[in-house]
A and B are shown apart, each in its own frame.
Chain A
């Protein structure tokens, strides 16, 4: 019985060790401008800098934000632009505390990135209270621009609805109409699966079955066997991170793809694909809004980013770049950094940059732009460690994203301009 007591004690130690609050770094800058509050535009990049999602955001997003500031010229309306960063450790309470401190003491004007939907929702709701702008590119829940939307909240890079519409819709239309899901057994997995199911059924396909596996399962072979015996044409992965990687590895090992079944991941980041390698991930379908090797503009940006950070940028990182750039453009267009005015400009202005070639922002804050269905290359097709995707088809923005009415966002509650 002793072990039980001891383990309890060790959990307390763990809680202590991980309970260190995150801090923000900032410094004062001399006064120059009258339209800008506190004479500086401060943008806070808040994300996971040490945990499971650190590769998908982390320092990479900060690097992308700095590149955006440089590309904009370093100042807006004569005031300097400053980037600060903090780790929310994927915990909503820590995220809210940091946001409060940023707004109240550190004069931060807007918070961006915000992966992990629970944290994004908490910070967005606090920011609505404080009348500050948030631009979420890391957090994927469709709720952010749906039932929990905010007049000052924007969602930039993707959402779960677009990913499932993209991947499931395109495959079913191509004739892969029977599906079996491996779903992570929590809210995120559930919503991915139910959104994808709706798309599959709307396109005349059929879901033959699903297994709901616990979060952080290391061995997927049992689930893979079940998927195999279902006879479904596509195995849909409604999970993320290590779970996705381990499921894909097991599927290859058990000869699933060789036997003709397709694997489709509803959320795969470039770092996941990179860590699996083409050997492990080949043939996998996924949806993303940006890939470094799509055109010269993207390749050039990727090269600059690579020089700074040593890795290729992913959709989420470039989403932060685009968000920062658009925010600065909006301040310039509004002639002030006052929240209402900037939010109005963000809603009005089209988004034209290397991330979103033809983007626009809906009333609910959702930035709508074209998404792409990709397939991971085979080792023969790939010419280097980052040469991972080939583009299969373009999914027009209005097909991928929900309309304001569909999103469930009550825009009538927003303050009238």
Chain B
């Protein structure tokens, strides 16, 4: 059998694929975070809570209305986006003129409240959520057994990431958005409703977190803590990619997923910190991040 670094090649390929799957979640989450930071300059600490809300909404929809995975994939992110839009309009938008620290503190407090509430009602152990029957089972790829659902997650994540990137970088709406954050007064003078744009942006970012949550629900336990376990890593991904760089967040998400996957083979104890070690090195060599512009 072919060996690479003392590990059989098929096993290594399997681990690379697993890393890519995890990278899909990092990419989806850091994408939303980068959209919100890039366009609103808000460090959205509630992102993990919004991810958890997405998963819980899917679970609650199934439990109370019988709505399955596919409808939930559309409905749950929209609900998370709507709740987040309400929060942005009534509370967060008042903090835009203040230092970034206030936005961070607000969203952090919000995350604690949301997670605490769910923990009170549902406990820490989490709830099971069955994936779609259509994607149950798996496919033998020769080098590993790939559960069909995980394959779907990879494809879905790539499609979503590309669409959002195209939306912001290549469409007229995206151009308005970018202009509105560059110079709000000027854009407003052209007759564009800037506050509405900002609300929509926050809702989009939060909706993406909710979507990632629904995608994660069949794989992980739907638990109040699922977001807080992930959020710090996702922040590191955004910092490495370059705060505000949307393409950077996506690429970095996938790359770090793979690097973390390899760490799990060669030195599993370090798999939780490898992302932060990379972050420290990147910050020392390129303080603006890999894809960020120096300000």
Contact = CB atoms under 8 A, between A and B. Distances in A.
B partners with A: yes
Interface of A: 1-4, 6-7, 9-10, 13-14, 17, 50-55, 185, 211-214, 216-219, 221-223, 225-226, 229, 241-242, 245-246, 249-250, 253-255, 271-272, 274-277, 279-280
A275 B125 contact: yes
Contacts of A249: 128, 219-221
B207 interface: no
B108 A242 contact: no
Contacts of B271: 213-214, 217, 222
Contact of B235 (A1, A3, A185): A3
B268 A245 contact: no
Nearest 6 A/B pairs, CB to CB? A214-B272, A222-B264, A275-B125, A55-B123, A277-B128, A52-B124
Contacts of B8: 229
Given A225-B15, A275-B125, A213 B268 contact: yes
Contacts of A246: 220-221
Interface stretch (B62-70, B162-170, B172-180, B223-231): B223-231
Interface in B133-163: 138, 144-145, 147, 149-150
25 contacts: A2-B100, A3-B239, A3-B243, A10-B108, A211-B268, A213-B269, A213-B271, A214-B268, A219-B18, A221-B22, A221-B150, A222-B18, A225-B11, A225-B15, A225-B144, A226-B265, A229-B8, A245-B126, A245-B221, A246-B220, A246-B221, A250-B219, A253-B147, A275-B127, A275-B221
B184 interface: no
Contacts of B272: 214, 217
B76 interface: no
Interface string B21-41: 110000000000000000000
B101 A6 contact: yes
Contact of A223 (B21, B128, B268): B268
Interface bracket on B: 35 or more
A354 B100 CA distance: 59
Contact of A242 (B101, B126, B147): B126
A53 B123 CA distance: 9
Nearest to B227: A218
B82 interface: no
A222 B261 contact: yes
A223 B128 CA distance: 21
Contacts of B127: 275
Interface in B220-258: 220-221, 223, 225-226, 229-230, 235, 239, 243
B125 A10 contact: no
Contacts, number: 132
A45 to B, nearest CB: 18
A216 B125 contact: no
B119 A50 contact: yes
A178 to B, nearest CB: 18
B25 to A, nearest CB: 8
B109 to A, nearest CB: 8
Given A1-B283, A246-B220, A254 B147 contact: yes
Contacts of B130: 279
A217 B109 CA distance: 24
Interface majority SS (helix, strand, loop, mixed), chain B = helix
Given A3-B43, A275-B127, A279-B128, 20 more contacts: A2-B100, A9-B105, A14-B112, A55-B123, A55-B124, A185-B268, A211-B268, A214-B269, A218-B226, A219-B220, A221-B150, A222-B15, A222-B19, A222-B261, A222-B271, A223-B264, A226-B265, A245-B126, A255-B147, A271-B125
B128 A276 contact: yes
**Residue of A214, A253, A271 ringed by the most chain B CB atoms within 10 A:** A253
B240 to A, nearest CB: 11
B123 A216 contact: no
A301 B104 CA distance: 49
B215 to A, nearest CB: 13
Nearest to B127: A275
A48 to B, nearest CB: 9
Contacts of A272: 125
A271 B126 CA distance: 10
A254 B149 CA distance: 11
Given A1-B283, A279-B128, A54 B123 contact: yes
B22 A219 contact: yes
B223 A242 contact: yes
A216 B220 CA distance: 12
Contact of B125 (A55, A213, A223): A55
A17 B225 CA distance: 17
B21 A221 contact: yes
A9 B99 CA distance: 13
Contacts of B104: 6, 9-10
A222 B126 contact: no
A219 B221 CA distance: 10
A225 B12 CA distance: 10
B145 A255 contact: yes
B10 to A, nearest CB: 9
